[in-house]
Amino acid sequence: MDFKLDYLVGDIVWNNGPLTKTDVTQPLTENVQQRLFILLRTFQEEWFLDTTYGIPYFQRILGRKTPKSVADRIFQEKILEENGVAEILSYSSGLDNRTYSAKFSVRCTNGEIASVEINNIGA
């Protein structure tokens, strides 16, 4: 269970008043969606408590003329490593003006499906 995020801004959603169940993630699918959103927006070595967490943007993607197929594979490997993800059901991505976007669905370990869309990675 985590605090809910506003996916457009990337900030925690704060409501005035006591903390309720609507202010936190409940089902595993919500939890997985949120963790994947955070993972794909985190540069590897950015978080000082775990420098292996995140996507190796500087190490393997940005400024290296990395083909889209290699970037796709890097993202998919990281997605599959996330707790709660059993498999990737669908994955589509685009690379436009050096910004990467991805839309995918994963099957969670409880059998439910979580969908994630993330845009302007690397912008």
Between CA 12 and CA 106 the distance in angstroms is 23
Residue 32 belongs to domain with CATH number = 3.10.450.40
pTM of the predicted structure, to 2 decimals? 0.78
Residue 17 has a pLDDT of 62
User: Can you give the residue range of the structural domain that contains 41?
Assistant: 5-121
pLDDT of 6: 65
Q: How many structural domains compose the chain? A: 1
- Contact present, 91 and 104 (Cβ < 8 Å): yes
At 102, list the tokens: 């991805």
Check the CA dihedral 49-35-14-22 and report its sign: negative
In tens, the pLDDT along 29-87 reads: 888 988 898 899 899 999 899 999 999 988 888 877 888 899 999 999 999 999 999 99
Cα angle value 69/8/46 (rounded, 5°): 60
| Cβ neighbours for 109, distance < 8 A, ≥ 6 positions apart | 28, 84, 85, 86
